[in-house]
Homo-oligomer: A and B are copies of this chain.
């Protein structure tokens, strides 16, 4: 049940179909880890990498870092820092939004972006 590994493998193989630069070995090299390590991660024999490594993978693969981190069971340190600055405020808000449907949350995002906030 390695969500992260399965996803990583799937994406990498897709990229690889059109570009040999996406072999385990070459990707590992660009990302800065050992090929055997990356291989184990893909097969779920190894827990997902650190945030730093995941970010590098996402960047190389053209994927969303937040999504990949989520699959790894993590939340980016940057987001955590934002929350920590105003813990009550953000904790309340997030809990309120927990069960709201996507479109409602999205509406909020847009409202904030476009509004005179």
CB closest chain-B residue, reference A97 = B112
* Interface residues contributed by chain A, number (CB under 8 Å): 38
Taken together, the copies of this chain in the complex come to 2
Q: Does A14 contact B (CB under 8 A)?
A: no
Q: Could you mark each residue 60-86 of chain A with 1 if its beta carbon is under 8 Å from any beta carbon of chain B, else 0? A: 000010110110011110011011111
| Binary flags per residue of A91-107, CB closer than 8 Å to B gives 1, else 0 | 11111111010101110
Chain A at the B interface: SS class: helix
- 1/0 contact string of A29-69 vs chain B (CB within 8 Å): 00000000000000000000000000000000000101101
From B74, B88, B109, B113, contact of A89 by CB (8 A): B109
Looking across the interface, which residue of chain B has its beta carbon closest to that of A92?
A: B109
